[in-house]
Homo-oligomer: A and B are copies of this chain.
């Protein structure tokens, strides 16, 4: 396994391609590096200079006076493979390649060259990051090999020295955005441990970097900007590891839209993939999605300071000296899914005794500006925080002056440190730099945006609940080995499409339906089968060449008499032949009509990257008009299945909202879990499974699968 530690804390560094002119990118890197007191040696490697920016330069990596862990490479693309080879031979353990012109280029040459880099990296077991990256910064060891202006001529220390924990790492394919996280977060006095930009990810990808940083245990929150997931297994392993460690991943994934996908493909050669699948994967691992840099940075701030005491619920107390600000925040909290309850009587009595008649203790607690000063901001926040009605507090302020907080520094620090509930601060005015510093030293997160503040609290609460579930979730057992091999054998021997009559028995091995499928090869056989069924029957053509049976006119429902069945059989055969004269028709399925129920659809589709993804939706118009569907990777358990259903906008329909009996959600959940296990065990063989429609009957009466289809993966 390549050693990313050699990247982030090397013994010494070579800068291959270093140039004297700091206006050029090749010169800038060294120029920036030299501004930071990295303890190891920095060796410029240059063919044309004996000295670069005051440092002795060497003609080749092989000529250095010591073996270096890390090489930074910024030379023309065509020289990169040979140079990487040379690094490998010289015992270099990590290489960050900044050079562009690989897989992001039009044509195959760049992609081939990139593949070459990957092979060399593997051969020498080197941690190769890039190409097409913007470098990185490892703040603790003061190593900043990047041409990003962010670490050039800094006016503040790399990290606020009073922050001993709650460090944040930014990991991004895009150099601009990766360093922008730091650029936005540093003025908020947030402690960044690392900024790593991974570019095209020829070898090491962002999740490799995160895994290494989790193992270092010097970072508590991750900000990530990604264009694709290069290695799904690494993603899964690292996402799970992060959740187990309680270190939140706050992520933006580009390529939600066609244009965004185009952009990602063109500039780091990423195949963006289906965004709904990504969302399902994020949800599975409690990954938090952000929509803009400030939102992501402010969310990281909340976790950075209060990750150790996340709120136990969604109830928030709001303390304000501005009535307008209080109302606005109350609305914002509600929109973001938080609750703003009226405070308990005991707390209100305590507060009412201290505020004027034109203030209010109900929540938002509007102390009025004067009373806030008199009672003390820390005291008022503390009174609300101690209320049994709330899980967290938002304090509203105008952070124009540090003195507001400096005057109460001891009390506010106590409030921030000795608490089991987080206290977040929102300033409705532009905070002064000194006020930002003051609150950071005190230990309270200062938000500049009301939405970000409320959303952060919501996500903190969700994260806590998610993690508790995640840690106690039992391992999911899929099919027994006997079941697995029996189904595998059936799938092996099947043709590429399994019609309903073929799919049913296979699915039944996982408890999906009863497996019954009565096929008729003649009208008389149909009549005979129907005679053995008490209810009215449905007839459906069975042909791998006719997947849209209704469209083909090859389904007839609700048949009650032998004559009707006979006529229906003949009509179906005629329609099917008319629809597709060369169709291979296996026969006609005769089934009892399912009793009424809430129509749903269930399906499994194969995602190129992440494998089988289960889909569930409310049937008919809900799917077609409202796209009301939810996705999940497989397998999953009953709790997950319930939460998946809760994602549906029309979920209330299952609860009998119109006065009907509630539907048999337990049976639906069992079906979903069974299907998820089937998909997990046989995903490789399967391109698609459709159970459409599934009818969910009233509670206690189960579900009926009214149609089923399996399409095998092309082998």
Which residues of A line the B interface, CB within 8 A?
Answer: 100-101, 104-107, 110, 132, 149-150, 172-180, 183-184, 187, 225, 227, 252, 254-264, 266-268, 291-294, 318, 321-328, 330-335, 340-342, 356-358, 360, 362-364, 366, 368, 398, 400-401, 428-430, 448-451, 620-621, 624-626, 649-650, 652-653, 657-658
- CB pair B327–A267 under 8 Å, yes or no, is yes
- CB pair B225–A259 under 8 Å, yes or no, is no
Known contacts A174-B322, A263-B364: does B184 contact A257 (CB below 8 Å)? Answer: no
Query: Chain B residues with Cβ under 8 A from A327's Cβ?
Result: 174, 227, 254-255, 260-261, 263-264, 267
Known contacts A266-B360, A362-B266: does B227 contact A331 (CB below 8 Å)? Answer: no
Other-chain residue from B106, B340, B430 in contact with A183 (beta carbon distance below 8 A): B430
- The CA-CA distance from A105 to B356 in the complex, in Å, is 9
- CB pair B334–A257 under 8 Å, yes or no, is yes
Copies, count: 2
- The CA-CA distance from A332 to B150 in the complex, in Å, is 24
- CB pair B625–A326 under 8 Å, yes or no, is no
29 chain-A/chain-B pairs, Cβ below 8 angstroms: A100-B358, A101-B358, A106-B357, A174-B325, A176-B325, A177-B428, A180-B325, A183-B430, A184-B429, A187-B430, A227-B324, A227-B327, A255-B327, A255-B331, A256-B335, A259-B331, A260-B330, A262-B364, A263-B360, A264-B327, A267-B324, A291-B332, A292-B332, A292-B451, A293-B428, A624-B658, A625-B649, A625-B650, A625-B652
Query: Chain B residues with Cβ under 8 A from A318's Cβ?
Result: 259
- The CA-CA distance from A325 to B430 in the complex, in Å, is 25
Query: Chain B residues with Cβ under 8 A from A132's Cβ?
Result: 358
Q: Which residue of B lies closest to A653 (CB)?
A: B625
- CB pair A252–B294 under 8 Å, yes or no, is no
- CB pair A334–B364 under 8 Å, yes or no, is no
Known contacts A263-B366, A626-B650: does B451 contact A324 (CB below 8 Å)? Answer: no
Q: Which residue of B lies closest to A101 (CB)?
A: B358
Known contacts A179-B429, A180-B428, A360-B267: does B650 contact A257 (CB below 8 Å)? Answer: no
- The CA-CA distance from A625 to B626 in the complex, in Å, is 13
Known contacts A101-B357, A260-B334, A325-B174: does B428 contact A266 (CB below 8 Å)? Answer: no
Q: How far is the CB of A677 from chain B (nearest CB, A)?
A: 30
- CB pair A324–B254 under 8 Å, yes or no, is yes
What 8 pairs between A and B have smallest CB-CB spacing? A174-B324, A267-B323, A176-B322, A257-B334, A259-B340, A263-B327, A260-B331, A259-B330
| Chain B CB within 10 Å, residue with most, of A184, A292, A449 | A292
Other-chain residue from B254, B366, B621 in contact with A331 (beta carbon distance below 8 A): B254
- The CA-CA distance from A242 to B56 in the complex, in Å, is 69
- CB pair A254–B101 under 8 Å, yes or no, is no
- The CA-CA distance from A326 to B173 in the complex, in Å, is 13
Known contacts A268-B323, A650-B626: does B101 contact A260 (CB below 8 Å)? Answer: no
Query: Chain B residues with Cβ under 8 A from A330's Cβ?
Result: 257, 259-260, 262-263
- The CA-CA distance from A172 to B327 in the complex, in Å, is 13
- CB pair B184–A430 under 8 Å, yes or no, is yes
Query: Chain B residues with Cβ under 8 A from A334's Cβ?
Result: 256-260
Query: Chain B residues with Cβ under 8 A from A260's Cβ?
Result: 327-328, 330-331, 334
Additional A-B contact list (16), CB under 8 Å, known A263-B323, A293-B449: A174-B323, A174-B325, A175-B324, A176-B429, A180-B428, A254-B327, A254-B328, A257-B333, A257-B340, A260-B334, A264-B327, A266-B323, A267-B326, A267-B358, A292-B332, A292-B451
- CB pair B650–A177 under 8 Å, yes or no, is no
- CB pair A449–B294 under 8 Å, yes or no, is yes
Q: How far is the CB of A187 from chain B (nearest CB, A)?
A: 6
Q: Which residue of B lies closest to A174 (CB)?
A: B324
- The CA-CA distance from A626 to B101 in the complex, in Å, is 50
- CB pair A252–B328 under 8 Å, yes or no, is yes
Q: How far is the CB of A319 from chain B (nearest CB, A)?
A: 12
- The CA-CA distance from A261 to B362 in the complex, in Å, is 12
Other-chain residue from B368, B649, B658 in contact with A100 (beta carbon distance below 8 A): B368
- The CA-CA distance from A328 to B176 in the complex, in Å, is 11
Q: How far is the CB of A196 from chain B (nearest CB, A)?
A: 14
- The CA-CA distance from A328 to B255 in the complex, in Å, is 8
Query: Chain B residues with Cβ under 8 A from A448's Cβ?
Result: 294
- CB pair A225–B324 under 8 Å, yes or no, is yes
- CB pair B252–A105 under 8 Å, yes or no, is no
- The CA-CA distance from A657 to B106 in the complex, in Å, is 40
- CB pair B429–A180 under 8 Å, yes or no, is yes
- The CA-CA distance from A174 to B320 in the complex, in Å, is 13
Query: Chain B residues with Cβ under 8 A from A256's Cβ?
Result: 331, 334-335
Query: Chain B residues with Cβ under 8 A from A268's Cβ?
Result: 323-324
- CB pair B254–A183 under 8 Å, yes or no, is no
- CB pair A658–B621 under 8 Å, yes or no, is yes
- CB pair B291–A451 under 8 Å, yes or no, is yes
Query: Chain B residues with Cβ under 8 A from A183's Cβ?
Result: 400, 429-430
- The CA-CA distance from A100 to B257 in the complex, in Å, is 51
Query: Chain B residues with Cβ under 8 A from A340's Cβ?
Result: 257-259
| Chain B CB within 10 Å, residue with most, of A104, A356, A448 | A104
- CB pair A105–B331 under 8 Å, yes or no, is no
- The CA-CA distance from A255 to B360 in the complex, in Å, is 16
Query: Chain B residues with Cβ under 8 A from A624's Cβ?
Result: 657-658
